[in-house]
Amino acid sequence: MRYIDGYPYEMLKIRKDMVILCVTLLDLFWASQETYVYLVHFHEPIVRSNGVEVKHYVGSTIDPGFRFWQHEHNVNGSKLIKEANRRGIIWTVPIMWKAGREFEQKLKREKHLARHCPLCTRPQTNDVAILTDESPF
């Protein structure tokens, strides 16, 4: 299924007034769910065509297990993670927050994800993941 701005493409082909109704219902659904914001750490940097190195990606979901499965299998995932998979770059999710999509957008605007990554800010440990209610802000 194709998505545009996080909404199923099939819904966007309906009349505009119906789309507004569908989008509003989806927003209400998202607001009622417990949302998780997760940070992906790439073990090797991905160099974009403009020469910028990327080592992190941030996303949000209401079902982390299913979302990570989608990322692993290149289904409805981000282009960055699809590229990492294509290149065989290992990625992990070292931290997840119980937070809304607004927090995800705040992290994306900040653009300094390494300061929130336990793998980049602490010595290597055997910790797999950290789930916290505390926002780093």
pLDDT digits (tens, 9 = 90+) for 33-87: 788 999 999 999 998 888 889 999 999 998 888 888 888 888 877 888 999 999 9
130, β-bridge pairs: 95
CA angle (43, 90, 97) in 5-degree steps: 75
> To the nearest whole number, what is the mean pLDDT of the chain?
76
Query: Contact 103/37 with Cβ under 8 angstroms?
Result: yes
- Residue (of 104, 124, 136) closest to 39 by Cα position: 104
Cα–Cα distances (Å) from 134 to 71, 95, 98, 113, in that order, read: 25, 11, 8, 16
Q: What percent of the chain has pLDDT over 70?
A: 65
- Residue (of 105, 102, 122) closest to 58 by Cα position: 105
Number of C-beta neighbours around residue 74 at 10 A: 13
Looking at residue 56, what is its pLDDT? 94
